[in-house]
Amino acid sequence: MPNRLSLSRSVGWLVCLGLLATPAFAHKIEVAGDVAGTWHVEPNHNPKAGEPARVWVALTRQGGQILPLNQCDCKLAIYSEPHTEGSSPLLEPALKAISAEQYQGIPGAEVIFPKIGAYKLELSGTPVAGANFQPFKMNYTVTVATGPSATRESPQIKTNSDELPDNHRAEGVSQPVQVWGSLGVAGAIAFGGIMLIRRRFQK
């Protein structure tokens, strides 16, 4: 009897994971207790700093039944990696029921990651009145790429002229040209004088 129960559970989860993986084979699938979830971050699991991204998790019960947000008291917490256990999340975006791919009423949120780097997304959930599933917690790590509004500053090479007012910058830039021009004129005059002296001695 235990073997049959274990076998039926395994088959149930295989069916559930198969349903999740069919339309979203590149997504991360995680099982926590009797709930499975597939993570997705739009666009294409490659969010950019400073730009809106949509995070959603398709939750299913064993056997493939969708677990909608109205049956789950779900919370999404986002941490900047690395972070210490027990630290406060960087972001706690509000979840709302959305439709994505073939899923209806699943938890989703719009997120703006402030800067490039790695982030840990953690979804926790408990059943609301009338729902029957075990409390769960699942997580997903995403790497945020650079974007036009990224807060991480790019290294810049500063020269002395960068710290001067505009009127002094113009003078600072023109000074090397003036110096080399003066040297060129002096050199030309000296060379001409040498050539005249040589011609006189040759005569």
Per-residue pLDDT of the chain (203 residues; tens, 9 = 90+): 445 544 444 444 444 444 444 343 457 899 999 999 999 999 999 999 999 999 999 999 988 899 999 999 999 999 999 999 889 999 999 999 999 988 999 999 999 999 999 999 999 999 999 899 999 999 999 999 886 655 444 334 343 434 444 444 434 433 333 434 444 444 545 555 555 545 554 55
Q: Are 59 and 35 in contact (CB under 8 A)?
A: yes
84/139 Cα distance (integer angstroms): 15
What per-residue confidence (pLDDT) applies to 13?
A: 47
Q: Quick one: tokens of 34?
A: 């009797």
pLDDT of residue 63: 84
Evaluate whether 26 touches 39 at the Cβ level (below 8 Å): no
Bridge partners of 120, per DSSP, are 79, 141
| d(C-alpha 162, C-alpha 187), whole Å | 32
Q: What is the pLDDT of residue 187?
A: 52
Q: Is this prediction's pTM over 0.95?
A: no
Kindly give, in sequence order, each residue whose CB lies less than 8 Å from that of residue 131, ignoring residues fewer than 6 positions away.
67, 71, 72
Q: What pLDDT is attached to residue 56?
A: 97
Tokens read off for 32: 């926590």
pLDDT of residue 193: 52
Give the H or E element holding residue 109. Answer: strand 103-112
The closest alpha carbon to 164, from 173, 177, 154, 155, belongs to 173
From CA 26, how far away is CA 148, in angstroms rounded?
27
Give bridge partners of residue 30 from the DSSP assignment.
Answer: 37
